[in-house]
């Protein structure tokens, strides 16, 4: 939600958890340049400085905060401050924001954030927050179609990241694979009713493309995952792939076998086993019938022989 306060002032409202944030942009963002140093002043809102390049020194009360690349300085409302030094290559931006409680909770995000922002806070090395802020700046500068929707989404992301930073949520390394925990709210679990096509497509993709074909890959297993009868499952497969379940399973096995022949030195017998064939003869017969080549011919072709 946006309000245009004047031609060069925009206020955006963002609801997150139990907090409503108001963000005030002046001509997109206020950009500090040499030889600008500001007189001592204070704001009725919080002010956020972020540094893309160079260094900036901001004096808050009797303390100097030296901000470098990827640093973010938050100054609480009513704090007297001034920019006293900018490096020659400084690229520094600022915006203002305020926040209010949306509801009254004993241990709320609002009260915890209010406690952390009782004095100026310098956040070092905030590449993730900085990336989001620069995306916001870009959206305001270019104002391409749907820019207002994009700004609202980016503000949601930014304030969620900011809350996590202040709540000291540890940044855990991202594993290559991880489980997805369903939401606790029951109404958010009904996507199979609201958007069954998305639900079916995701399960079909996982079933034919992701799982090991050495496992129990059969119509009954897919029916259980889709929560459908065998007849309904056949119709779903036919609708999305244009072929029967059995034909789609053969396609998946042969696609996997071609990938393994292209990228590994596994024997053809081992590849047949990994693709769910009980014997090399069954694999040979299926591969030749569908591709017009024997497995050996296909492997030699891929090798450029």
- Which stretches in the chain have pLDDT values below 70? 1-9, 26-38, 104-107, 169-172, 174-198, 210-211, 214-216, 305
Fold of 2-166: Jelly Rolls (2.60.120)
Provide the pLDDT for residue 193. Answer: 47
Provide the pLDDT for residue 180. Answer: 61
Provide the pLDDT for residue 31. Answer: 61
The pLDDT mean for the chain works out to 82
Please name which of 108, 113, 55, 117 lies closest in space to residue 84, comparing C-alpha atoms: 55
Distance CA 242, CA 260 (A): 26
The per-residue pLDDT for range 144-156, each reduced to its tens digit, is 899 888 989 999 9
Over the Cα atoms of the chain, what is R_g?
Answer: 29
Answer yes or no: CATH 1.10.10.60 is held by domain 191-302: yes
Domain boundaries, the chain: 2-166, 191-302
Which residues, including other chains, have CB under 8 Å from residue 297's CB and lie 6 or more apart?
A: none
Provide the pLDDT for residue 107. Answer: 59
Provide the pLDDT for residue 191. Answer: 45
Distance CA 186, CA 62 (A): 53
Distances (CA, A) of 179 to 52, 174, 176, 185: 36, 12, 11, 18
Provide the pLDDT for residue 259. Answer: 87
Provide the pLDDT for residue 194. Answer: 44
Which residues, including other chains, have CB under 8 Å from residue 240's CB and lie 6 or more apart?
A: 200, 201, 204
pTM above 0.75, yes or no: no
Provide the pLDDT for residue 12. Answer: 84
The per-residue pLDDT for range 81-95, each reduced to its tens digit, is 988 888 888 888 888
Provide the pLDDT for residue 122. Answer: 94
């Amino acid at each position: 939600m946006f309000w245009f306060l004047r031609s060069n002032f925009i206020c955006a409202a963002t609801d997150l958890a139990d907090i409503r944030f108001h963000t005030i942009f002046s001509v997109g963002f206020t950009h500090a340049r040499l030889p600008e140093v500001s007189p001592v002043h204070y704001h009725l809102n919080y002010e956020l400085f972020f540094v893309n390049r160079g260094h900036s020194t901001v004096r808050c009360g009797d303390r100097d905060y030296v901000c470098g690349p990827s640093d973010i300085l938050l100054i609480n409302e009513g704090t007297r401050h001034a920019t006293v030094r900018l490096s020659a290559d400084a690229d520094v931006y600022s915006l203002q924001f305020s926040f209010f409680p949306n509801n009254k909770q004993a241990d709320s995000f609002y009260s915890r954030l209010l406690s952390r922002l009782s004095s100026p806070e310098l956040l070092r090395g905030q590449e993730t927050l900085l990336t989001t802020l620069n995306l916001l700046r870009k959206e305001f500068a270019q104002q391409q179609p749907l820019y207002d929707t994009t700004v609202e989404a980016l503000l949601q992301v930014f304030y969620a990241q900011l809350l996590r930073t202040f709540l000291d949520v540890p940044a855990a390394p991202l594993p290559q694979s991880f489980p997805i925990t369903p939401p606790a709210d029951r109404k958010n679990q009904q996507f199979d009713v609201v958007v069954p096509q998305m639900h079916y497509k995701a399960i079909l993709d996982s079933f034919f493309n992701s799982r090991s074909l050495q496992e129990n890959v059969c119509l009954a297993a897919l029916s259980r995952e889709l929560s459908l009868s065998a007849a309904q499952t056949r119709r779903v497969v036919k609708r999305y792939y244009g072929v029967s379940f059995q034909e789609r399973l053969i396609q998946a096995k042969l696609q996997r076998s071609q990938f393994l022949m292209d990228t590994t030195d596994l024997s053809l017998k081992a590849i047949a086993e990994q693709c769910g064939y009980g014997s090399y003869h069954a694999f040979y017969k299926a591969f030749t019938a569908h591709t017009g080549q024997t497995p050996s011919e296909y492997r030699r072709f891929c090798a450029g022989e």
